[in-house]
Structures are given as structure tokens and as C-alpha cells.
Amino acid sequence: MSFEEAVGEASFYGPKADFQIKSVVGKEETASTNQIDFVMPARFGLKYIGADGKEHPVVVIHRAPLGSHERFVGFLIEHYAGAFPVWLSPVQVTIVPISNKFNGYAKNILEKLKEENIRVELDERNESVGKKIREAELQKVPYILVVGEKEEKNKTIAVRQRGKGDIGSVKPEKFIEKLRKEIKEKK
């Protein structure tokens, strides 16, 4: 792997190795770092007894495989522009009933998804269907399930996929199977 020596960079305790990445906007970030620390062990008077029976100075290795977790999560948010793949998305599915009289059917679907450990929310607000869908799309939820009279009668769900729009009606079990596969394969 190619590397670049960065003389005079912020190595506070001793030599270090950083793994640099470029974000989608071209900004360079440190993804991880490993640094040898000769200073702090000496300040604390840390020593160990070696195989020779003598005292030896301790060397500490500072290791941050993901850098700071906050920076790593920030990088992921920036990289995906908030549109996480379904396996990583905080909310994987939002269920939108066409009206309050279909909340019961929507709750049945909600429970089926929860049983499969799918991160799902039910939007029961007294708002228009268009507004609920628009808000779920703005939240970049990967799948929106719309349920109304036709879906309840046919025991189906109308599926909308982020970036593709309406992809048709399916049986909930078929959708769950597709979603489980997508999550497992980290698509």
C-alpha cells in the first residue's frame, strides 16, 4: 500500500500511522490512527520488570481504529447524504395508513415487521397521505408502506422504495423476505 510521510504533522507523543480518507465533498479526514507514546508513560513513571530482572520504560500505543466515533458517524452521514442503506438506516420502514380507519391493519403490519427486528414506525398522524409520504421521503426512510381499503381487503401492502417510488403491492411476508435478504447481504 502506498503511503506518504508527513513530517512535522501533529504527532504529540511519538511516531504515528494515520489512515486518511477523502469524503464525498473532497475533504480529507483521518479515519483511524495508531500512535506510539513515549511521553506519558515517562511522566507517570511507568516501568516494568523485564526478563532480565531490570526495570524498563513502558511504551504506550494509542489506537483509534475508527478515529473518534463521532467523526466516523459524521463521515458516514456525509458519505450517504443521510440516505443510508436499509441495513444501516435508523428507521428502515415507515407505514402510512390512508386514513385512521386503516390503523388497525397498519398495526398488524407493524407487529409483523417488529417480530423480524425491522426498525419500523407507524405514522398515525391526522395528516394527508401525501404529506406523510413526503416527510418520510425527506427523512430518507428506505421503504414506505401505504395501506388502505384495497390493501386491507387483499392482505397486501403498497411499497414505495427510496429513489424508485411506487414499486407495487405485495403480501407482507414477501416484502419481509426481500427486506431480510437486503439487510443480510448489506445491499
CB 158 within 8 A of CB 145: yes
Q: Are strands 143-147 and 60-64 parallel, antiparallel or unpaired?
A: unpaired
Place of cell 513530517: 7
Q: How far apart are CA 101 and CA 96, in angstroms?
A: 12
Is the confidence at residue 11, as pLDDT, over 80?
A: no
pLDDT confidence of residue 184: 94
Name the architecture of domain 93-184.
Answer: 3-Layer(aba) Sandwich (3.40)
Query: Where do the structural domains in the chain lie, given as residue ranges?
Result: 16-80, 93-184
Report pLDDT digits (tens) over 129-168.
Answer: 999 999 999 999 999 999 999 999 999 999 999 999 999 9
Q: Are strands 157-161 and 28-37 parallel, antiparallel or unpaired?
A: unpaired
Q: Are strands 165-170 and 93-97 parallel, antiparallel or unpaired?
A: unpaired
Mean pLDDT on 11-21:
78
Is the confidence at residue 7, as pLDDT, over 70?
A: yes
Report pLDDT digits (tens) over 117-138.
Answer: 999 999 999 999 999 999 999 9
This model's pTM is above 0.75? no
